[in-house]
Amino acid sequence: MASGAGAGGLFSRSSSGNVPTMRGLVSFIADLRNARARELEEKRINKELANIRQKFRDGNLNGYSKKKYVCKLLYIYILGWNVDFGHLEAVNLISATKYSEKQIGYLAVTLFLHEEHELLHLVVNSIRKDLLDHNELNNCLALHAIANVGGKEMGEALSQDVHRLLISPASKAFVKKKAALTLLRLYRKFPGIVQQEWAERIISLMDDSDMGVALSVTSLVMALVQENPEQYKGSYVKAARRLKKIVVDNDCAEGYFYYKVPCPWIQVKLLKLLQYYPPPEDTHIRNLIRESLQRIMDSAMEMPKNVQQNNAQNAVLFEAINLVIHLDTEQDLMVQISTRLGKFIASRETNVRYLGLEAMTHLAARSETLDPIKKHQSIIIGSLRDRDISVRRQGLDLLYSMCDPTNSQAIVSELLKYLQTADYAIREEMVLKIAILTEKYATDIQWYVDISLRLIAMAGDHVSDEVWQRVIQIVTNNEELQVYAAQNILQYIKSDCHETLVKIGGYLLGEFGHLIADTKGCSPIEQFMALHGKMRSCSGSTRAILLSSFIKFVNLFPEIKPQLLQAFRAFSHSLDSELQQRACEYLALASLPTDDLLRTVCDEMPPFPERASALLSRLHQKHSTTSDKRTWVVGGRDANADPKEFNLVQNTGLKRSFTNAAPLRKDSKSAAPNGSNGTNGTTLSRTTSDLAGLDMNIDTNKVLKAPNLASAAHLSPDWEIGYNRLLLRPEGVLYEDAQIQIGLRTEYRGELGCVILYFTNKSSFPMGSFTTTLDNPSVETLKTDIKGLPDTVIPPEGQTQQMIMFESKNVFTEAPTIRISYLAGALQALTLKLPVVLHKYMDAAELSGDDFFKRWKQIGGAPREAQGVFGLAVKGRTTSMEWTRKVVAGFKWGILDGVDPNSRNIVGATVLHTKEGKFGCLLRLEPNFETMMYRITVRATDESVPPILMKIMEERLAQGMEG
């Protein structure tokens, strides 16, 4: 009995005999106490639940009692006990008028209910009522519930009200913050909930005077920008300006300084947001960003006083470094960060080493030269043995990114050395990266085969299917690899090797074994014995590949047919239905009286078609689950310059061929089937999954393009009044209404034009979040450069201005448009066309009659001539010679009097300036004032010019003048 007790484990025994140890006794007593306490607790809980249930059944409970009993249910639920009643009572508490009762009701709803709970629809109206309430505390309770519980149905029903709270001028700052974060939570779960027309209004809140609101809205905008960059591109200028205000102007509320660092959280978000867009071409915006980045770099040189300040500075600094690398235009800053990163990766602090390696990986992905990084190659290789696995993983990423033809063999060699002792957590990723580098930089076929097989032999179970299948694909597609690969794989199979090598051997020997059959030690029987010897220790899928190899051997090596038939007979009785069917099919095929069908079925495999590299797809999948989209790919500059590979950050799949890939053979009629070792898909239908990973079909999701509100498709009513006026004038009013007046002044010299816009607030209240967005449809031929931005707040009767430079690179057709939005209670927005038209870049010319006719004949007719006949398009309008001459002169034609034999005709000459060159233009306008008709003829030295000049003149002349 004592012996049984000791062995049974009530008490653990000491080494000296049957005396129970103190630890075993204490543990046993503790277990008894816990069991007893649990039993007593359960009895108490059941008694309390029965009491609460009875109270709810009896009814007539006042608000306080309901709150008390729901609180008890919540406590029981939090302790881990199942509560299957009282949910409806909790839901009813939401409608209570007292805050304490309502609070408990919302708390219960967030704990008891989930987004698909059947009672959830009962609370939607109550939540909406609290969202519409003027009590901010009730607003916050409702927002918490939506954020924590809200499913798709609740989100769709209440998102409009959440958005209204966010944008309402009456909402307090803390309500706006919660509304922004609630929308962010809903968007992450159901992106369709945030509507496209909200974009401008949400962006405008980035200018909010409350730093907390700006921070919350920036978090929301960051998520939205990643999926809809075009729709939220207005956030770029907002981010650049806000960053400059915080970093340079030190414009930050006192409560948002963290150890003397002004609001590092929003700094990091703004710096990251700027990385989702290409570098700006506008001088003013570039200067804003450059000034902020330089100040961050300078601040980082100051010695922090404590750990917290150091962490905050580093968080901002490293995000700033990432932005500098992304911009790739600030050479002075690039030199600074290259030097600093070398110090960071050698730092004693683990976090700094990690961030330094990550930033250097980004630098390797963008930099044109890897020389500054190669200086630190020994330190980077040493990071593979860092005590922190995150640092080791980041060091691996950096080595992968900095690899090029000059150091590839050294880096691959180091990675193979480290692979033997690497953590299991990163071995699979290491194998993928070694395989990709080996393929990418292989100049010697033997080196590629040796490294690939050695890698698979060393890594064993950490080799994914994509790796060995890619080796097969490359060997099959490159004839010069086939003999060497077959010889080497046979030597591996003859020894004690991993099963993955057996799969490769089964395929390669079945395809190319006949190429080495005359080599010593590689005879047919030796190949068969080597593969057959692995059959017993392999899995069913590997055996299936080997059986397919054996049917190939029947066709290639008739001398060993008896041994092969015996193998088929043995497996024809297998309990595995897959193996049994294969063996029976192969046995029947090999036993046919003639070899005609066998030769057809076992014909040589054609090369695989060039398709996506499964290795790259698998590698980039590892980064696709991060909360923020990557703006760069882990890899060198080539990988980031290739849009196909860059898309792997979001979508897997990339067409990538081996460096020395051979072209398709002339005798191959079709692409390699997705089947097993050389057997065709019709006869051996059961083998289609042997190399399934080799088929990488890519499905790309079509993204609906958001409307561009700054484009000409959304011009505001009455935009054409000021536009038509300023087509012929250098300055004047472009637009005016009861709230705003927009004036314009222009100056053109050669191919350069300067436009200054003046915005005057005519109202008696300030305009907030004043924003302008330029849209240039002629981006290839008309270059824009914003030299200044308007103030974000315009006081009553106040004015602000904006300067934009326009350079005519070549002949352009469409004028730019500008979107102006501002907060005046609600969001007000205008879209206007700017009178930046081709004729603005013309200078009137003076010619004699002889010179005019000489050049007119030299230019000749079509295609360098455009002619049209038209009349007045507006009823009640008229025309006259004086008005017509004034319009022609306004279009910058030099009017040549006395040249045309008909004195009523108007003849003109001008020179068009573009960056590509100058073009001479000639005009003949024939007016008929009796019929109110015109005939216009324009000739130019470039055939693209006349149709454009004729069109803009026709549009203006057809309007006539007011009677």
Q: Does residue 830 sit in helix, strand or coil?
A: strand
Question: Is 826 exposed, middle or buried (CB count within 10 Å of its CB: 0-12, 13-18, 19+)?
Answer: exposed
> How far are the Cα atoms of 436, 506, 862 from residue 850, in angstroms, in the given order?
72, 89, 22
Are 695 and 688 a contacting pair, CB within 8 Å? no
Q: What six digits make up the tokens of 413? A: 């060699």
Distance of CA 104 to the CA centre of its chain: 41
Tally of CA atoms within 13 A in the half-sphere of 229 that contains its CB: 9
Q: Please give the helix or strand (H or E) that residue 232 lies within, else none.
A: none
Alpha-carbon span 173 to 213, nearest angstrom: 6
Binding residues: 23-24, 55, 64, 68-72
Report the 10 Å Cβ neighbour count for 476. 24
Residue (of 76, 60, 142, 65) closest to 109 by Cα position: 142
User: Residue 185 and residue 179: Cα distance in Å, rounded?
Assistant: 10
CB 292 within 8 A of CB 274: no
Residues in the chain: 963
Calpha distance 271→261 (Å, rounded): 15
Cα distance between residue 761 and residue 763, in whole Å? 6
Instruction: Calculate helix-pair angle for 499-512, 524-532, nearest 10 degrees.
Output: 150
Return the structure tokens found at 10.
């009530």
CA gap 899, 891 in Å, rounded: 19
Q: Give the torsion sign (CA, 147, 150, 155, 157).
A: negative
Query: Cα 899 to chain center, whole Å?
Result: 63
Asked if 469 contacts 691 with a C-beta cutoff of 8 angstroms, the reply is yes
- Residues ≥6 apart with Cβ < 8 Å to 542: 499, 502, 503, 506, 534
Which H or E run contains 196?
Answer: none
Q: Three-state DSSP class for 26?
A: helix
Q: Nearest CA to 610 among 512, 692, 696, 687?
A: 696
DSSP state of 920: E
* Helix (H), strand (E), coil (C) string for 624-653: CCCCCCCCCCCCCHHHHHCHHHHHHHCCCC
For 934, the enclosing helix (H) or strand (E) is strand 933-940
Which token pair is 406? 């000059």
CA pair distance 641, 331, nearest whole angstrom:
19
Of 756, 760, 727, nearest to 892 (Cα)? Answer: 727
One-letter identity of residue 558: P
Upper half-sphere CA count for residue 319 (Cβ side, 13 Å): 20
Give the whole-angstrom CA distance, residue 253 versus residue 732: 41
**Alpha helices in 537-592, H assignment, sequence order:** 540-556, 561-571, 577-590
Strand (E) or helix (H) holding 182: helix 173-189
What are the φ and ψ backbone dihedral angles of 939, each rounded to 5 degrees? -125, 145
Tokens 């049957």 — which residue? Answer: 18
Q: Quick count: other Cβ atoms within 10 Å of Cβ 34?
A: 10
Provide the residue type at 382 as one letter.
G
Tokens standing for residue 511:
């395809």
The three-class DSSP label of residue 610 is coil
